[in-house]
Structure formats: structure tokens, C-alpha cells
Structure 1
Amino acid sequence: MITGESGTGKELFAQAIHQASAYSSGPFVAINCAAIPKELIETELFGYVPGAFTGAKKDGNKGKFVQAHGGTLFLDEIGDMPLELQSKLLRVLQERMVTPVGGTNPIPIDIRVISATNQDLEKMIREKTFRSDLYYRLNVINLTIPPLRERKDDIPVLIDYFLDKYAFHIDKGKTRFTKSALQALQHYDWPGNVRELENVVELAVNLPEQEVDRHHLPEHITNYDNSHNYENSEFLTLEEMERMQIIKALRTFQGNITHAAEALNIGRTTLYRKIKKYNLVRLIDIGEGGGKNHEN
């Protein structure tokens, strides 16, 4: 299960997992559980046989599970799955068989299922709006994707990916961002995460210029001031403040645990434990004072 804020790129991660898996030669089929009307999601997922209901296609519909046979099914926004369908989804995952709506013959399926959500499913379980047995079935391996504002080093890589993607769509030569434009993009905190960045790159590719400068960017990005983000916001929890200080120290000392621990006035072991707690291992320098030395 992949968790993270809306727009952090959960589907991109799911596609990467698919491409690196034994199912990579099969299809990657994605469905957004929040985008489909409640009354249609069952037939979208499980399909239906001819004549299953008024208005059904004469040939029926395979459904996403059967379409993904031999590949990966990505269930985005799984927290929006209607409660009454969760038991049927659980049964399909357990039995690896799917019965179309209106049908009686189960169809065997061989797929990898990846789910994603931006909701607190454990809270939903306590509120009895999400089944605990389905949660534990899906949450075998959990990947939490940090928001883009906490992994700004990814911005140039993502920009290159989206530049190639949209340049190919409109058959345009390579667009490039100037250093000034890149600085503005890395200064911005991206409340819309990767999805917002993708929209900005798509806009840039559709400009007539091959080189995108700072003045080509939306004004809310070039005029952005992040100095007030925390001073004028609601109170943060102690854990949120601690996480922010650790991120600041690791970035200041380029991932060197020894120097960061000294600046925070805590021991290396304590800092490393907190780094793992807050999923910040990616910020550690692998050289002297970094994670590998600590573990060795």
C-alpha cells in the first residue's frame, strides 16, 4: 500500500513497482475509486455478463480485475471504496477468483494488486468506515511518499521526465528551464505536489519558446514567499516541529549525521532512530557520518 498526500505521485511509484516486478510484461491497469460513482464501481472492478442489467453491453464487460490478468491492478484512493463492496474485494483478493456481476462462473486471475490512499485508514477502521481485514490484506508492505516540499531534490528529475512526456505528445523538441526558473521552482513549496509540478511543465512545453525563463512561470510561483509558512500557521505538534528541525539540520550539513546530531544537541544513535521514525533516511549522506557508517 502506498500512502501520501494527494498529488505526491503515488501512481508513478506504482508504475515503477510494476516495471521492476515479475508482472512487468503484463498490463498496468489503474482505477481511481474516488472518481467512479458508487453505483458503477462494482461493474468497473468485477465486470458483468451480457444482460446483467438494463443498459448492459451485449458483449458484457471484463472489468478491471480481468483486464489486469498477468499484470498489476492499481487501486487508487482505496479509502473511498464503498463499505458494502469491501467484503467482495477482500474475497477476490483471497481467492484470486472474480465473478462478474450477473454471472455464476468464477474467473481465475493472476495479478499484483497495489493500493494507494491519502486518508488515515486506521482512523477509518476505528470509525467503522473501512474494514480492518481488508486493510491488513492490502497493507502487507507500506510505502509512504513524502510531499514534494520535503524532497525538492527530486524536482529536476521529475521535470526531465515530464518534459520528455509532453514533448513527445506534441512532437516538440526538448524544452529546457533556465537556472533562474529552476531556482523559482525549487523555492516553491508545491501544495499540489507532483501533480501541480506536472501541470507547470505541461504549460512550459506548450509555450512557443524552447527555453523557459522565470518570467514564463505562473506568478504564484515566482512571487512565492515561504518564510511565513510556519510562523503564521496553526500550532504544530511537537513531533511535527521535531521532524522539521531534523530535516533542516540534515540539509544544512548535507546529510552528515555527526554534525547534525551536534547541532541538535542529541546523540548520533538517538538522531538515527528519529530519522527512521520520520522516514528521512533518504536525507542521510552515505559517506562519513552517514547511515552506512552508523549501521556498520
Structure 2
Amino acid sequence: MSMRELVVLGTASQTPTRQRNHNGYVLRWDGEVILFDPGEGSQRQLLHTGVTATDLTRICVTHFHGDHCLGLPGMIQRLSLDRVPHPVPVHFPAGGAEYFARLRHASSFHETAELAVEPIVSDGQRIDLRCGTLEARRLRHPIETYGYRLVEPDGVRTLPDRLAGYGISGPAVGELLRVGHLDVDGRRVTRGQVSEARPGQRFAFVMDTGLCDGVYALAERADLLVIEATFLTSEAALAAEVGHLTAAQAARVATESGVRRLVLTHFSQRYADPARFVAEAREHFTGDLVVATDLSTVPVPPRAVASAG
């Protein structure tokens, strides 16, 4: 049975609080289990979630500010300690390769796990996955930063009642889907007559950035958008200066991009009341809104279905 959900390890920004650990997010998407931006404490946070190091199939780092990467040494060493049997690709901005090398070997350990080091070298770079495509987009931050989105290809879902109505079953169903039509009792039945479109789902992960084209490219028609909302509008000038978003900006991006479920995270320690982020975002986004909390789980919304033409 497939599972598509976000597991939140931490939701703080530069400074953790008593309620919020540094960043860390795990996306479970069918057979893929992707760890995004492991900040300090991510290894321990995993223990509370039921996700293990052996489950991880990939690690993605948006940039090399500490709250997004200082958990990497522990996670990498845990892969070897648990003798993870499969290669684990690691993606990060190519300009930060020296930082990655330092973090990877930050202390002495017996390395047995196989890391496939695959840096992001260009805006729009795509990585083929079993379940679709992982795409990286350049963001606007003081250091080289990329966001990621996972895109599942569009497909087709057959309708059993219509197949039965035309008397089509068994191997004939596969032939109809493959060829696009099938002749049954002297009449031609097309794929569109017995199926409906199954739009591919999309997940987007947008961390430290000011507003830019990359934010919108990542968020476009996302079923689940995880996006930083470090500041409130009262600090909009500071947000722009340091390359971050406000809750209002994140919410407007979601509305303009047709996002189905919006997850706000990466909150400055200056705000103790998460209700303030809800109130600000609700002025600009009327859809499904989540203000992330540590160790919470956010499902990807059920698949949207559109009729085939």
C-alpha cells in the first residue's frame, strides 16, 4: 500500500526553542523516503516518528546554513552504524561541495554505507526517481540555495463499471490501454470511454528565499507545498533584507500557484504564538492550511481526478 505524507522533525529557523527543533523533514512517497534539510537533532527526532535511517532512500539539502545541514554528520554516520544496505543519493548545491565534504567527515567513524554524491549544478536540474521526477530550482538567498519539487507523471485510471459494460476484462484491458482502442463485437471502444485522467501529484519544498521565479516554479499546482514563513509582515523589510518570506507572502504564493495544501514552517524564535501565522496566512489563502509543529505528520491530499477527453 502506497503512503504519501510529510513527517516533520523540526520547524525552527536559525535558533531552536523549547517547542521547536531545528529543521528536518521526511517525505514518504510510495517507495521513496526523502530526508530534507537535517538540522541539529534530526537523528534523535527520527526516533519519535517511526522513520529509521534504513528507510531513507535519499537526502536533499537546500543550502549550507547551519540550521539546514548541521544534522548531516550524525545522519550520515547513522547510515553506516545501521549498515543501510542500499546506496543513498545526496543532493546539495554544487557550490557547497566543500561544506558537504567537511560535514561528511566531521568526526572519525567506520564508513560502511554507500553515499551517492550527486550535487545540483544547474537551475532546473532533474533527477529521475521510480515514482517521477525530482526537480531543483534556484532560490534567492545570500548563499547558493535550491528548492525541490517531486512531480509524478500524469496517468489514466480505468473505470471497472465501464469496462464491464463493454464486456472487456482480463488481458483485453491491458491491450486497450496499450493500443488506445479495442474492437468488441463489431464496435470500437476507445481508452477514453472506459477511463478517466489521473493527474500526477506534486510535492514542493521551499526553504530560505526571498520572492523569485524559482518559488513560483516550485509551487505551481503543488498538492502539498512546504514553505518557509520565517517572519510576519511586521518584519517584511527585514525578511527582504536577509532573503526570507513572510507568512503573507507564502500564502499569496500558494493562492497564485493553485496549491491544494499549504504547510508553513521555519519560524523565527521571536514569535511564540503560532496563531499569528494562521491569522496572517488566512488573509491571503483560503485553502487547506497547516502551521507545522514538531513531530507532526501531514498527509498529501487525496489525488485529484479529472475526466479524460
Task: Write 1 or 2 for the structure with the bigger share of helix.
Answer: 1
Larger radius of gyration: 1
With normalisation by structure 1, the TM-score equals 0.24
With normalisation by structure 2, the TM-score equals 0.23
